[in-house]
Amino acid sequence: MAEKMSCREMFTKTLAELARQDTRILAITSDARGSCSLTAFAEEFPEQFVETGIAEQNEIGIAAGLATVGKRPYVCAPACFLSARSLEQIKVDVAYSNQNVKIFGVSGGVSYGALGSSHHSLHDVAVFRAIPDINIFLPCDAFQARAMLFALEKTDTPAYIRVGRNPVPFVYEENAPFTIGKGNILREGNDLTLIATGETVWHTLKAGEMLAEKGIYARVIDIHTLKPFDETIVIQAAQETGLILTVEEHNINGGLGGAVAQCLARHCPVRVSSIAIPDEFAVAGRSEDVFRHYGLDEKGIFDTATEMLQEKRGE
């Protein structure tokens, strides 16, 4: 098997598996079948596929309407448009109306890096965290995206799933278990804790390995579910390591770092620092270059973690 695979490709392949077993499952897109890897799905399931054209608000309204009559719609489109252009429809037609619509946002974060801030999706977690009754998921690799979809199909609640665009390394084994709302410890350690979500998880895990080579043992946690949020794993890490660094492909405000800081301010105040996109329109470029620019790659994470420990020790 290849060492990398895109989450979007695995997600839609798995959606096709489920659609063969359940004709209620529909894929709805807004001229994004290529972006969402839906071409094969549309060819195999023409009666379970809806193309709205470039009409993101309409695709959400259509999905909500179909959900009211017992269908199980998956809206598949670029995350930047779903979390901005379709926001009112998601808030009112899906979340407020409590319709079983799964919203699959592809090319999230800076996946469309060279296209600039109009196509970056660095506000989506913050936006959806502030809307009640919609869960938020950021899988870190293709196997987790697959397991996540199987878990989501057993639920009847609205959800937003954000993935990137390009192939990413595997973090998990093929049949690794997945539990909604339960974070995973990927590496043990008691010197500090690194908490990541989505495609930053692999970089954070590699940073943990680099730190271990220097005799620094970092606990590495994958928070794949932002809502519902696993406070237990975060509080335990704070109690046992006393130092937290969060890493996310998102604006510094309102994302994983905010969720962790809010949790620990209530339950276990310790120092929390965050690596994220600053409160600015991000630079344009390939996603790997944007990661490097903002210190979201393994070297940037390693350097920040080392500095935090040095400050803690008064070095």
- Inside any domain, residue 55: yes
Angle between helices 298-312 and 200-213 (to 10 degrees): 50
pTM (two decimals)? 0.96
Strands 4-5 and 168-169: antiparallel
Looking at the 3D structure of the chain, how many domains does it have? 2
pLDDT at residue 156 greater than cutoff 70? yes
CATH number of the domain encompassing residue 212: 3.40.50.920
CA atoms within 13 A on the CB side of 106: 26
Residue 196, token pair as written in the block: 């990541």
Q: Rg of the Cα trace of the chain? A: 19
* pLDDT digit string, tens, across residues 30-86: 988 888 889 999 999 999 999 999 999 999 999 999 999 999 999 999 999 999 999
Q: Render the burial of 4-27: b for 16+ CB within 10 Å, e for the rest.
A: ebbbbbbbbbbbbebbeeeeebbb
Angle between helices 142-152 and 7-21 (to 10 degrees): 30
* pLDDT digit string, tens, across residues 180-221: 999 999 999 999 999 999 999 999 999 999 999 999 999 999
Average per-residue pLDDT for the chain: 95
- Inside any domain, residue 176: no
Question: Does residue 157 sit in helix, strand or coil?
Answer: coil
Clarify whether residues 156 and 302 are in a common domain.
Answer: no
- Inside any domain, residue 65: yes
Clarify whether residues 82 and 130 are in a common domain.
Answer: yes
CATH number of the domain encompassing residue 161: 3.40.50.970
Q: Residue 256 belongs to what H/E stretch?
A: helix 256-267
Contacts (Cβ under 8 Å, ≥6 apart) of 314: none
Residue (of 112, 45, 40, 49) closest to 75 by Cα position = 49
Clarify whether residues 165 and 216 are in a common domain.
Answer: no
pLDDT at residue 1 greater than cutoff 80? no
Is the distance from CB of 195 to CB of 245 less than 8 angstroms?
yes
Instruction: Pick the last residue of a domain from 112, 145, 169.
Output: 169
Rounded Cα distance between 180 and 228, Å, is: 8
Contacts (Cβ under 8 Å, ≥6 apart) of 157: 98, 100, 133, 134, 135
Rounded Cα distance between 301 and 244, Å, is: 12
State which residues form the domain around 268.
Answer: 184-312
Clarify whether residues 68 and 130 are in a common domain.
Answer: yes
